[in-house]
Structure 1
Amino acid sequence: MDVREFKRRPPPQTYGVMSFPAPHVVLVVFNRPEALNSMTRAAQYELESLFSWFDSEASLRCAIVTGAGRAFCAGMDLKQWDISNARRANGEHDGQLMMPRSGFGGLSRRHGKKPVIAAVNGLAFGGGMEIVANMDLVVAAKSARFALPEAQRGVVAMAGSLPRLARTIGRPRATELALTGQSITATEAREWGLINAVTEDATSDCAVLERPVVKKALEYATKIVGNSPDSVVISRAGILAGWEDGSVENASRLLSETWESALNEGTNLQEGVKAFAEKRAPRWVDSKL
């Protein structure tokens, strides 16, 4: 897929490297390996713009994020944090927050419309862990590790992961992560219900697309984009509504009121039923939701 095929060109990126490894799928590689893919403020706003574009580009239906080198993401670049604090102390402040409204990396508090899969190739610490806590699916290499070490630095994980982890893995385990700062392995993360699958590690010279963790994420993505894009968007919205609202009945009511008419009026529902009756593969069209 060529960026010229899109209705709008993607926003320029200096931190995230984009490619399109399968139809309707975008892969974003966090690309600052010399700093374990830690993020600057500018990188976070770039990514927020990128995933806003992803949601608006009808031909794209699923995204994958992974990291260059040996890390997924080590969190915030603390050197820039020190510089920002010093400037603020001197009254020099440009009015822009350290992270966008959609959270760390534009992802940790993102609601969005379409699914994003994390292919965790190495350590996911701090902000990297906060991103993982808000992913739709997570695949991790066997050597990957997950941690919220903020308390060891005198700061707090305030990009959305704490309440999300309390719901996903339960209060005792979320407390263990946040209050001790200790890391857990990919196997432990899967046992806790934080991630979907664990893969073998890649060799040090392995290309990103050849990594087992990225291949597994692409397997999930390919299955997702093979389904009705309308059904994927609405099903995801229903899951998020139940996760965030707390009341399953209220979430069910809101899902029906918000989306049922749009689903029934769309062409993909009719195409799915017709394809079933005719015993053929459905020919989905890009979602207009």
Structure 2
Amino acid sequence: MSDKPPIDIDLQGAVLVITINRPERRNAVNRAVSQAIAEALDTLDASAELRVGIITGAGGNFCSGMDLHAFASGERPELEGRGFAGVTERQPRKPLIAAVEGFALAGGCELALACDLIVAAQSASFGLPEVQRGLVAGSGGLVRLQQRIPSGIALELALTGARFSAADGHRWGLVNRLVPAGGALGAALDLAGEIAANAPLAVTASKEIMRQAPGWPLAEVWDRQRPLADAVIGSQDALEGARAFAEKRLPVWQGR
């Protein structure tokens, strides 16, 4: 049994980079990977200095899904209350970006879908092939894919198990930024930097509103949004933003 950690953690300023470190298995997820990612995401949310997370994979692939060898031995990668890879059922409050090279298949595609934004290399490949293996994409793939791309296309992909390219994902609106092979992490760091430059309370509240609002009854939208928005408007950062604009300088955010 290898002593190599299942993930690598890299702090780059306000950005936490999580790299699944199992290239020999195309970064397939076992229980150890799920536990390590869950712990890293808890660190992301708990830290006042960290503002954005990135998940990527080592060795030229994002993630090939569940480790079938571990599954055949009776191990399940899902964590109670957290789901597959420690994130599919409970996402962090702070923004999370998937930096995708190579394969993002099955659970790997579901992991990417659990992230808020996706940056992908032109050579990357996505798919939910579970039906081809007698399984169901039950870690969010069937729920989220139809929310992120046209529903008819999502249904066809789910029923056939066919792969789709990063270029198609970009055309459908799933992939935010499409970059040359080898450039996904760098482009994700650039995007994370753009996000991290903004007021952290405002960013977190904006993510929460956009993720929750589709499930709000129309008659309750404003009442449900109001306390989230008011908490930001009443913050010290809101005053700092106004002062910085008036004084023609960059704001210094405090996260309060």
> For residue 17 of structure 1, what is the aligned residue in structure 2?
8
Cα 1:215–1:121 shift into 2, 3 Å: same
> For residue 189 of structure 1, what is the aligned residue in structure 2?
169
Inter-partner Cα distance in structure 2 for 1:191 and 1:103:
29
Q: Deviations over 1:168-207 (max 9, x none)?
A: 21321111221111100110111111111111012xxxxx
Q: How much does 1:250 deviate? A: 3.3
| Alignment pair present for 1:112 and 2:92 | yes
Inter-partner Cα distance in structure 2 for 1:34 and 1:216:
25
Cα 1:62–1:174 shift into 2, 3 Å: same
Please tell me whether the aligned partners of residues 34 and 77 of structure 2 are also in contact (alpha carbons under 8 angstroms): no
Inter-partner Cα distance in structure 2 for 1:236 and 1:98:
25
Please tell me whether the aligned partners of residues 87 and 114 of structure 2 are also in contact (alpha carbons under 8 angstroms): yes
Please tell me whether the aligned partners of residues 242 and 248 of structure 1 are also in contact (alpha carbons under 8 angstroms): no
Q: How much does 1:248 deviate? A: 5.4
Inter-partner Cα distance in structure 2 for 1:255 and 1:246:
10
After TM superposition, the runs of 4+ consecutive aligned structure 1 residues lying more than 3 A away are 96-100, 246-252
Q: Residues 1-289 of structure 1 correspond to what in structure 2 (within 5 A)?
A: 14-21=5-12, 23-84=13-74, 98-202=78-182, 212-243=183-214, 245=215, 247=217, 250-257=220-227, 259-285=228-254, 287-288=255-256
Inter-partner Cα distance in structure 2 for 1:248 and 1:120:
36
Q: Deviations over 1:218-250 (max 9, x none)?
A: 11111101111111011111110124x164553
Inter-partner Cα distance in structure 2 for 1:97 and 1:189:
26
Q: RMSD between aligned alpha carbons?
A: 1.8
Q: How much does 1:76 deviate? A: 0.5
Q: How much does 1:251 deviate? A: 4.0
Q: How much does 1:42 deviate? A: 2.2
Unaligned runs of 5+ in 1: 1-12, 86-95, 203-211
Aligned length: 253
The letter for the 2-side match of 1:231 is: A
Please tell me whether the aligned partners of residues 237 and 255 of structure 1 are also in contact (alpha carbons under 8 angstroms): no
The letter for the 2-side match of 1:15 is: P
Q: When the two structures are superposed, what TM-score results if normalisation uses the length of structure 1?
A: 0.83
Inter-partner Cα distance in structure 1 for 2:115 and 2:222:
21
- The SS at the match of 2:62 is strand
